[in-house]
Amino acid sequence: MTVILLLFENVNMKKLMNILLIISLVCSLPSCKPDDCPEPIENQSPVVWKKLISSSPESSLNSTPLLYKDLIVLGKKETSGYVIRAYNAYAGDTIWETMAPVSGGFNATDWDESMIYDNKIVFSESYWFFALDAVTGKILWHKINDNFFGGSCVIDKYLYKMGTDHRNWSSLYRFEINSGAKEKLFTINRSEYGSNYSPNLMMPVKWVHPNGDEILVLQNRTYGWYTDMEHKMDILAWNLTADSMLWYRDRLDGFSSMSRPAIDGDKVYFYGDRHAYCINPLNGETIWKYFIGDGPEDDFNTANILIIDDKLIVKPDNDHMHAVNKETGEMIWRNNETASMPDLLTVHQDTIWFGSGGVLAIDANTGKTLIDQYEASNGSWIFPIAHHPTNGHIYTSDGDYLYCLNPKYMR
Amino acid sequence: MKNDKITYNMKNINIKLQGIFSMVLLLIVSIAYAQPPRICDTCKYDVELTKGRFFTDSVDIYTPPQTTSEFSPCPASDTGLKYIGFIHGLSGSPASWSDAQEWTSNNYKTNSGKPSYVGWETSFHDVGQEVNKQIEVDIHSKFSQTKDSRCYSNDFIIAHSQGGIGSRYLDYKWDTHKHNTDFGDRRLFYGLVTFGSPHGGAHIALTKDQHAGFITGVVDAIYLEGTYNLRGYSKKLDKLLDNKDIFIEEEMVPIMIKGLHTNTMDAMAPNSSVMDSINNHKSRLHKVAFYGVEDAPECWRVISNMTDVAAEDYPTWKAEPDNFFVDKAESVRAEHLAAIQENNSKIKRWKAAGIFGRNIFSALMASYFVNKNLVENHHREEAVRFLDNANTHWRYLIGAYHRDSFEWVNETYYELTWEEKYGWLGKWYKQTRHFNTYNECVNHYNGLNVYRKQGWSINAKTKPIKKQSFYPNDGVVLVKSQKAFPGVGGRIDKMEKNNHFQERNSPQTEEVLEKLYKGKYDGYFTTLRKR
């Protein structure tokens, strides 16, 4: 102590200050061990990037985002026409842009109006449909036909379309996806199959008969223009190999969804009025049916079907979501707090994703809501979700911008 | 000596004044703290407890027995276009549907129009008569066929809110009063699509007498925030300001809402004779009902579209922003709170000045300004209370409120903890803050401006909170009423985050109309694209 006092007595103030400064510097060095230092905070915004879709939109809607390798493909109706763009999935840069060979009101917005097969992208709505090269955006072929109506689907290398006069007949066609070559498969007339209902064939799924024949299983969503002005859900199986009807089942239900059925092994799943059906494609018999509920929205105006492992996901028009054992029809879980009006359910790593007033993610194993209506803007979050296969990023839009989002930071 | 005595007396008075003042303050504080809990049966609007989603929706749907449609369809040989009429709601005009109607005409094979009943909201009889006349005129101006040669069976109406009730009234009259020439000599439409129509009745009609009080509260708390600092200067001025509130409520607001308080609004009250008539009628119309559900605070979102930009004034399908009034209410509330805080500081300063003042004049001055700031604060606190309770108040007015219905639920919140120090020699202090979202925690931590910070962590936690249940609604009409179109069955669809006015021009409107024309809800409404 005496030494310190003596020291202080012998140094002037300036020196004292310098000593203090050195001491403070020396003290501050070990005071922050690497482990204690504040970690640099990484960017925790869910928005990885966003890109304005159009500066002159003609519609608030856009097509379902489609992922092809490292490209996100999206169509939008603009004042100049319907424009399809491919964006780099990592940075959002526009890779190519193509004006669709369409006119009038064409606006592919539903999930069954744009799809990818191999390196081809198909857009199809109402009278128009065309295929383009996913890598270059070059239009490969396009068609227009006044009798075609509704969405489409791709099975193997064929695009399927339905033609109708909306009263008396409905035909199923298919087009070879590389060339656009047309093939008419079959027609159902109003007078056939014992009823006077106007036929309306929906998109099929393909099943292979034990004898090796290729069978298309689909719905005929008839309408009673000449009877009771009500809907009737017929289902049928068309033998593609034998070019004949394998079976036709009248009135499985009344009102039904326009959704394409789902197929898993030897079972085909349909959505009717307040019921999901499991059908034997061999003879059209019901294996089981799942009652959803008797509420006004326990049906499927806008539904689609998802099979995840052993589960059939049932999403009626209300806020509910059910997971049903696809073999037995028994309920596995139910979540009554998911939003309604989903456009398309998608699945990625055991999570069900959809857009409805925000991005929703539901754990497919438990039914627990993981992300509840996340919105990155005040826009319209009603579009389906595409998933990057490796980095976990998701792609969707708010109608104005295309977003790449990191679900890790979506709370 | 005399001066010393005066000074002593002055100081004495000053101390006494301060004492009285402190007593009054203590009394005020005591009263404030002695108030009963705010959640109580006797409170008028209780407390805003509607954060987050907590809906109770007991479906209340009229279900008279439905007959199958007896209408004959148009023959297959009839290739004529269908007519689609867009009908506006209460106090609306043909412009209300201008975007949707123009879009439909441009993109689909139809002749569409906007029949109106402006000036005829004296009764639904008058509305029906006028709509019938307008549709007839519209159809005959757009189609070349004669009345007898044209097939009307494919024609349908798309109606918003009251327009749906008016259309149903017309349908009811066509079916039940076939020889009443007020409604023409034939049916002019066979399908009806409604957006936000109060099929189960409009509860807002029942609280008509209280609308002016709510709007006055909005005007006073938000638009007249600048007048609050005039409070407390004198009793005369305060009385004048009070009279201003009475003037707004009794004179101005009734003029503002006169257009809404029509006879037809009264007739839409639940269980009115008109509603009972149409709800017990076995309508043969093809039906679809779309309903909007709006997030809290619905009241500000609805007012945003009424005072900022009307839904039809946005570009087509772009009426999704409705935050204008939400932001405005929040910023005004913050201004009130800031002013209260500043006044409290002033009160403290004036009190100090009064206690340590040298004379009675400074004591009186202090007392005056303390009082002035207290009066101003009282009014500002009332304004904040109004703003805090406004959405519950509004829900009460539209029938969404259940005053006795409470439930304990667990709410998730986020706890941010970290350590910070304020200088190199200082010690580390542990800090904790609670936020509603994860991002708020991150933003808070990133924004900390301290010498050093470390060891942050964010943990999700839950706490039980008392929530009040309410009927979901679009800000004006309850969901259960929008869905209660007799016979509609499952032909209904929800429009998420749409308020009553957005329903006519939001992205979801485009989406559901696209689906409607594709026949997803009912094949009857299938309408082909234009090539």
Q: Which residue of B has its CA nearest to A30?
A: B424
Contacting residues of B for A105, CB less than 8 Å apart? 106-108, 529-530
Instruction: Using an 8 Å CB-CB cutoff, list chain A residues near B191.
Output: none
pLDDT confidence bin for B243, thresholds 50/70/90 = confident
Closest CA to B401 of B55, B26, B20, B35: B55
The pLDDT assigned to A342 comes to 83
Cα of B66 to nearest chain A Cα, Å: 12
Integer-rounded Cα Rg, in Å, for chain A is: 29
Residue of chain A whose alpha carbon sits nearest to that of B515: A302
- Most confident stretch, A114-123, B42-51, B249-258, B431-440: A114-123
Mean of pLDDT values over B84-113: 95
A38 and B453 within 8 Å at the Cβ level: the answer is yes
Q: Dig out the tokens for A297 from the structure.
A: 């929205």
CB-CB under 8 Å, B523 with A223: yes
The DSSP code for A383 is S
User: Which residues on A lie below 8 Å from B490 (Cβ)?
Assistant: 255, 273-274, 296-299, 301, 317
Three-state DSSP state, A280: coil
**C-alpha–C-alpha distance, residues B127 and B120, integer Å:** 5
Query: Who contacts B174 (Cβ-Cβ below 8 Å, separation ≥6)?
Result: B183, B187
Chain A residues with CB-CB distance to B324 below 8 A: none
Residue pointed to by tokens 């099975």: A155
Mean pLDDT, range B69-87, rounded to an integer: 80
User: Chain B: nearest CA to A213, how far in angstroms?
Assistant: 32
Helices and strands in chain A: count of H runs, count of E runs = 2, 33
Distance of alpha carbon B274 from alpha carbon B136, whole angstroms: 24
Q: Mutate which of A60, A129, A198, A320 to test chain B, going by most B C-beta atoms within 10 A?
A: A60
Give the strand pairing for B401-421 and B191-195. unpaired
* Yes or no, beta carbons of B454 and A36 under 8 Å apart: yes
Distance CA A130, CA A120 (A): 10
Q: List the end-to-end C-alpha distance of chain A, in Å, as a whole number.
A: 59
**Contacts with B61 from chain A: Cβ below 8 Å:** 296
Res B249: pLDDT: 83
Q: Cα distance from A2 to chain B (closest Cα, Å)?
A: 25
How many percent of chain B have pLDDT more than 90? 55
Q: Which chain A residue has the Cα nearest residue B446?
A: A41
Is the pLDDT at B115 greater than 60? The verdict is yes
Shortest distance, CA A330 to any CA of chain B (angstroms):
24
| Domains defined for chain A, CATH in brackets | 190-305 (2.40.10.480)
Q: Which residues of A touch B317 (CB under 8 A)?
A: 59-61
Whether residues A41 and B442 touch (CB distance < 8 A) is answered with yes
- Chains A and B form CB pairs within 8 A to the count of 154
Question: In 3D, which of A356, A352, A353, A354 has the Cα closest to residue A366?
Answer: A352
- pLDDT tens figures, B308-337: 888 999 999 999 888 888 999 999 999 999
The mean-pLDDT minimum among B73-87, B113-127, B214-228 falls in B73-87
In sequence order, what are the beta bridge partners of A221?
Answer: A233
Q: Which of B66, B320, B457, B524 is the best residue to mutate to test the A interface, defined by the most A CB atoms within 10 Å of its own CB? A: B320
Question: Which pLDDT band holds residue B190 (cuts at 50, 70, 90)?
Answer: very high
Interface pTM (ipTM) of the complex? 0.88
Mean pLDDT of B369-397: 92
Instruction: Please tell me the predicted confidence (pLDDT) of residue B14.
Output: 54
Q: Which residue of A has its CA nearest to B437?
A: A411
pTM for the whole structure: 0.83
d(CA A301, CA A341): 9
Distance from the Cα of A151 to chain B's closest Cα (Å) equals 10
Q: Between chains, do A104 and B316 touch, taking CB under 8 Å as contact?
A: no
> Which amino acid would we find at residue A48?
V
Alpha-carbon gap: A242 to the closest alpha carbon of chain B (Å):
32
What pLDDT shows up at residue B323? 86
Give B73→chain A minimum CA distance, Å. 6
Mean pLDDT for each consecutive 10-residue tract of chain A (411 residues)?
Answer: 46 56 48 48 84 95 96 96 97 97 91 94 95 97 93 95 93 96 96 88 97 97 88 95 96 90 96 92 95 85 85 92 95 93 90 94 96 92 94 95 95 71
Residue from A118, A99, A126, A115 nearest A157 by CA: A118
Top mean pLDDT of B79-93, B131-145, B189-203, B345-359 is at B189-203
pLDDT at B76 over 80: no
Partner-chain contact A231 B523, CB within 8 Å: yes
Segment B196-212 shows an average pLDDT of 94
Chain-chain contact of A298 with B519 (C-beta, under 8 angstroms): no
State how far the Cα of A77 lies from the Cα of A332, in Å rounded to an integer: 41
- CB nearest B286 (choices: A229, A295, A339): A229
Question: How far is it, in rounded angstroms, from Cα A126 to Cα A122?
Answer: 13
Distance CA A240, CA A242 (A): 6
Backbone angles phi, psi at B455, to 5 degrees: 60, 45
Mean pLDDT of B120-141: 95
Contacts of A106 in chain B (CB under 8 A): 529
> Does B54 have pLDDT greater than 60?
no
Q: Which residues of A touch B71 (CB under 8 A)?
A: 229
Query: Which positions in chain B touch A24 (Cβ < 8 Å)?
Result: 424-425
Alpha-carbon span A281 to A268, nearest angstrom:
6
Q: Out of B61, B494, B507, whose CB is closest to A61? A: B507
Inter-chain residue contact A258 with B518, CB threshold 8 Å: yes
Least confident of A67-76, B10-19, B81-90, B491-500: B10-19
Q: Which residues of A touch B488 (CB under 8 A)?
A: 296
Q: Compare CB distances from A166 to B510, B521, B526 and report the shortest one's residue.
A: B526
Report CB contact under 8 Å: A302, B493: yes
Give the minimum alpha-carbon distance from B16 to chain A in angstroms, rounded to a whole number. Answer: 53
| Single-letter amino acid, residue B230 | L
Inter-chain CB proximity A301 and B508 less than 8 Å: no
Q: Residue B79 contacts by C-beta under 8 Å, 6 or more apart in sequence?
A: none
Q: Do A149 and B528 touch (CB under 8 A)?
A: yes
Q: Which domains occur in chain B, in start order? A: 1-35+206-265+314-400 (no CATH), 82-202+268-294+473-525 (3.40.50.1820), 405-470 (no CATH)
pLDDT value, residue B11: 53
For chain B, what is the mean pLDDT? 84
- Nearest residue in chain A measured CA to CA from B288: A301
Q: How far is A395 from chain B (nearest CA, A)?
A: 19
Cβ separation of B518 and A399 shorter than 8 Å? Answer: no
Contact A255 B107 (CB under 8 A): no
Nearest by CB: A341 against B107, B493, B519:
B493
The beta-carbon neighbor of B507 closest among A31, A60, A302 is: A60
Q: Which of B428, B494, B517 to mutate to test the interface with A (most CBs of A within 10 A)?
A: B494
Which residues contact residue B20 at a Cβ distance below 8 angstroms, ignoring those fewer than 6 apart?
none
Higher-confidence residue of B8 and B523: namely B523
Q: Which residue of B has its CA nearest to A165?
A: B76
B111 min Cα distance to partner chain A (Å): 15
Nearest CB to B490; choose among A61, A273, A337: A273
Q: How many helices (H) and strands (E) does chain B have?
A: 15, 9
Q: Which of A144, A301, A320 is the best residue to mutate to test the B interface, defined by the most B CB atoms within 10 Å of its own CB? A: A301
Q: Do A411 and B530 touch (CB under 8 A)?
A: no
**Facing A296 at nearest CB: one of B61, B506, B519:** B61
| Side chain identity at residue B407, one-letter code | E
CB contact under 8 A, B490 and A274: yes
Per-residue pLDDT, averaged over B8-34, amounts to 45
User: Averaged over B192-213, what is the pLDDT?
Assistant: 94
Average pLDDT over residues B471-492: 93
Q: What is the pLDDT of residue B64?
A: 52
Answer yes or no: is pLDDT of B365 > 90: no
